Chains A and B, each alone.
Chain A
Amino acid sequence: MEKDELIHLHADVDLPYRWAAGRYGSMMLRALRDRKVILGNRCPQCNKVYVPPRVVCGPCFIQPSEVVELSPAGILVGYSVVNYHFIDPETGQKRPVPYTYAYIKLDGCDNYLSHLVDETDPNRLYPGVRVEAVFRPDGDRVGRLQDILHFRVVD
């Protein structure tokens, strides 16, 4: 019964973008690539230090003019061992699981950096555990936040 047949249209939508990191983002990504250093910036009014560094402190509406080098280490604030399947919108393919998605509070910083932790054993992961950045080796860093390969738990 063709009247009852329901048609679906399948499309592999593929939209290329070339997003600019901007002034502060470029500053951070250059430092990461060239010097293995994580940069933040400090609001002159509330003294909060932000990562990634940005053009404005939202609550104060002021440029956080002072650029600061952050420690590559900090504490795990929250995490999730991702076990469910989903499409990675960057590739159109399933993102490999499991992996650990984490919010990390770098020493000297007031907000969190979203990144990965190379640990999926829940017994070794808990809020407050110390972690540190593992950088890609010299020559492999290209100016992306993924130049930090992941964070690792420091025993």
Chain B
Amino acid sequence: MTDVAIVGMAQTPYRRRRDDANFAELIYEVSCGALQDAGLEVGDIDNFITVSNDFWDGRTISSMAVQDACGSSFDGGRNVSTVEGDGTFGLLYGMMRILSGAYRTTLVVVHCKGSEGNMRLITNGMFDYIYTRPLGIEATGAAALQARRYMDKYKLTEEDFAHVSIKNRGNALRNPNAQLAASLSLDEVMASTPIASPLKLHDISPISDGAAAVVLAHRNVANKLGRKPVWVKGIAHCSEAHFLGDRDLAEAPALRDAAFRAYQMAGIEDPFAEIDLVELYDAYSYMEPLWFEEMGFCSKGEGAELTRLGATAFDGPLPVNPSGGVLSAHAVMVAGLARVIEAALQIRGEAGERQVEGPVELALAHGINGPCGQSHCVVILGE
């Protein structure tokens, strides 16, 4: 349990191209939206965190584009910092700066326009330049190696993964912000274009443009606001080795570690029984069961079976990605904060058509950095 709550949030719809808006315009939209949602003025915010990536933006110091738009230049300027990584890490650092006693309120903003760069070149750039980059490997090729290893180790099939795409793209039909929403059949997924075996087109998240913002507040502020605060009950992050060959790609010990520490902080002993909803980073279909298992919701190798049985369905006992997940909209870095926002909306009971049945008292949101989920951040949100 921590003393920090989410008191405001906003996100843009996620679309393949937002040629009508530059980074500052996306950020100004969500900054104003999150402040309005919180019932606060920009002058009430004493700390800002921007999240962006210099490769995706094609700009060194990519945060420069959004300093004015997030409000950090307001009235002579406020304290601000910039995280380069998933939005959940921005949330984490924003929280730290409140917990340290330095600030009372924090606006966390994140943007990415996947439409403006070349995803394959940009993600090739995250691999080591001596041994791996010259091979031309990038995010999807690496993910395919992980998917194959996971299948082989736990005797899973491509059909197992297809069910995740069917579920999440189906969930996205209820989410107006989603980019890809469809009622897919098993045959359609299985027959979709091969990209990097065993991954096919429908196993892979789209490239999206979008932005998101969250207002964090210390307990003393949060309790005075009109809105029902959504508390950050637990949070933890962890990274494992970089070289793909240093890792057993069928395992995610860093996620296991982060989830364990986040549960400890939140006082969770039995995650499956206690957590009501999960929004996790399913950049590829196989990631959902893999992450789900490492979060301790079931034994290793059982995640896909649970999906097939409907346990993680929209109306199942533990809905996973009722928003449609990253498979339905993937603005890189934004996607982790979008998971947080989706989980928080469910706790507030304000998720509209995608509101799951029954009360959501405790939810898990998750973000990743680096190839094949090398680094993870787990956030536990609650009433």
- Residue B373 CB within 8 A of the other chain: no
- B19 x A20 contact (CB < 8 A): yes
A11, B129: Cα distance in complex, Å = 9
State which of A52-60, A113-121, A145-153 sits at the interface with chain B: A52-60
Minimum Cβ distance to chain A for residue B142 (Å): 19
- B25 x A22 contact (CB < 8 A): yes
**Size class of B's contact patch?**
20 to 34
Minimum Cβ distance to chain A for residue B270 (Å): 45
* CB contact list, B286-331 vs A, under 8 A: none
- B21 x A20 contact (CB < 8 A): yes
Query: What per-residue 1/0 map shows which CB atoms of A1-38 lie under 8 Å from chain B?
Result: 00000000101011111111111111000000000000
Minimum Cβ distance to chain A for residue B114 (Å): 11
Partner of A23, one of B20, B58, B133: B20
Query: What per-residue 1/0 map shows which CB atoms of B58-74 lie under 8 Å from chain A?
Result: 10000000011101011
A21, B113: Cα distance in complex, Å = 13
- Residue B117 CB within 8 A of the other chain: yes
Known interface pairs A20-B21, A61-B42. Does A9 touch B68 (Cβ–Cβ under 8 Å)?
no
- A54 x B21 contact (CB < 8 A): no
The B interface, classified by DSSP as helix, strand, loop or mixed, is helix
A23, B67: Cα distance in complex, Å = 18
Query: What per-residue 1/0 map shows which CB atoms of A45-88 lie under 8 Å from chain B?
Result: 00000000011111111010000000000000000000000000
Q: Which residue from chain B places its CB closest to the CB of A16 in the assembled complex?
A: B118
A18, B18: Cα distance in complex, Å = 11
Partner of B22, one of A14, A20, A61: A20
- A58 x B129 contact (CB < 8 A): no
Partner of A25, one of B22, B68, B113, B117: B22
Known interface pairs A19-B58, A61-B74. Does A56 touch B130 (Cβ–Cβ under 8 Å)?
no
Q: Which residue from chain A places its CB closest to the CB of B121 in the assembled complex?
A: A15
Known interface pairs A17-B58, A19-B22, A23-B25. Does A59 touch B116 (Cβ–Cβ under 8 Å)?
no
- Residue B268 CB within 8 A of the other chain: no
Minimum Cβ distance to chain B for residue A59 (Å): 6
Could you say which residues of chain B place their CB within 8 Å of the CB of A24?
Answer: 25
Minimum Cβ distance to chain B for residue A9 (Å): 6
Q: Quick one: which of B58, B68, B69, B76 has the most chain A CB within 10 A?
A: B68
Known interface pairs A15-B58, A17-B116, A19-B116. Does A59 touch B20 (Cβ–Cβ under 8 Å)?
no
Could you say which residues of chain A place their CB within 8 Å of the CB of B103?
Answer: none
Known interface pairs A11-B129, A22-B21. Does A17 touch B117 (Cβ–Cβ under 8 Å)?
yes
- A20 x B20 contact (CB < 8 A): yes
A18, B68: Cα distance in complex, Å = 22
Could you say which residues of chain A place their CB within 8 Å of the CB of B122?
Answer: 15
Query: What per-residue 1/0 map shows which CB atoms of B1-34 lie under 8 Å from chain A?
Result: 0000000000000000011111011001000000
- B130 x A9 contact (CB < 8 A): yes
A15, B25: Cα distance in complex, Å = 24
Minimum Cβ distance to chain B for residue A77 (Å): 20
Query: What per-residue 1/0 map shows which CB atoms of B72-83 lie under 8 Å from chain A?
Result: 011110000000
Could you say which residues of chain B place their CB within 8 Å of the CB of A13?
Answer: 125
A17, B112: Cα distance in complex, Å = 13
Could you say which residues of chain B place their CB within 8 Å of the CB of A58?
Answer: 67-68, 73-74
Known interface pairs A9-B129, A11-B129, A54-B24. Does A20 touch B113 (Cβ–Cβ under 8 Å)?
yes
- A56 x B68 contact (CB < 8 A): yes
Cβ contacts A to B, 16 pairs, < 8 Å: A9-B130, A14-B121, A15-B58, A15-B118, A18-B116, A19-B22, A19-B58, A20-B22, A21-B22, A22-B21, A24-B25, A54-B68, A56-B69, A57-B68, A58-B74, A61-B42
Which of B's residues lie within 8 Å of A, judged by CB?
Answer: 18-22, 24-25, 28, 42, 55, 58, 67-69, 71, 73-76, 113, 115-118, 121-122, 125, 129-130, 133-134
Given contacts A20-B20, A59-B76, 8 further A-B contacts (CB under 8 A): A15-B58, A19-B22, A19-B116, A20-B21, A22-B21, A22-B24, A23-B22, A59-B74
Which of A's residues lie within 8 Å of B, judged by CB?
Answer: 9, 11, 13-26, 54-61, 63
